[in-house]
Amino acid sequence: MSDEMTAIEELSFREAMSELDSIVAKLESNTLELEQSLKLYERGIQLLSSLKGRLTEAQQKVDVLMGQLDVSADDATTDTTLS
């Protein structure tokens, strides 16, 4: 369980996902004591929160980049007639 010693901020996205997958597998195995399960569950929630934040940040960056691709129409090319 050395992964749990690593600060979540220091993990790459892939490493954090891998650790979360490992935690889920351990919790689903039903072989852990209650205290171990709670500790792993807490770590899993922290990992999940971090991953969701990273995905949100990445989506915002993609949205900004996609917005830069959109060419803004000027008044000369915009159809302002009511049809």
pLDDT digits (tens, 9 = 90+) for 5-58: 699 999 999 999 999 999 999 999 999 999 999 999 999 999 999 999 999 999
pTM of the model: 0.73
Residues 13, 47 contacting (CB under 8 angstroms): no
pLDDT digits (tens, 9 = 90+) for 65-80: 988 887 665 556 666 6
How is residue 17 written in tokens? 């996902």
Residues 37, 27 contacting (CB under 8 angstroms): yes
